[in-house]
Amino acid sequence: MENRDEELWKLAEARVGFKRHLTTYLSVNILVWLLWYFTGSFGSSYGDFFLPWPAWMTLGWGIGIVLHFFGVYVNNSYNSVEREYEKLKGKK
């Protein structure tokens, strides 16, 4: 019974960690986009290709957020580790 409590605790910690990561991502991105907008950088372009500089950070970090979400909510690695452990233990 205690093992289940530890597993739930680890899952809860992972989900809280994701929520903190998401909150930081949103807060920082809002700040950076507002900075970009109010400094007047929105009128500048780089040749024929225009992509605002905050977009690179938003996209790159956004990929990390999506991967973090899948790791915590979709691909529950804690159950995977436990299943693999039980398989190995059964072969012994």
How many domains are contained in the chain? 1
Model-wide pTM > 0.85 = no
Q: Which domain covers residue 35, as residue numbers? A: 2-42+51-91
Residue 40 clears pLDDT 60, i.e. is over it? yes
Look at 78 and 32; give whichever has higher pLDDT: 32
| Averaged pLDDT, 13-21 | 95
Whose tokens are 């930081």? That residue is 24
Sorting pLDDT into bands at 50, 70 and 90, what band is 20? very high
Tell me the C-alpha distance between 77 and 11, whole Å: 9
Query: Average pLDDT, whole number, for the chain?
Result: 84
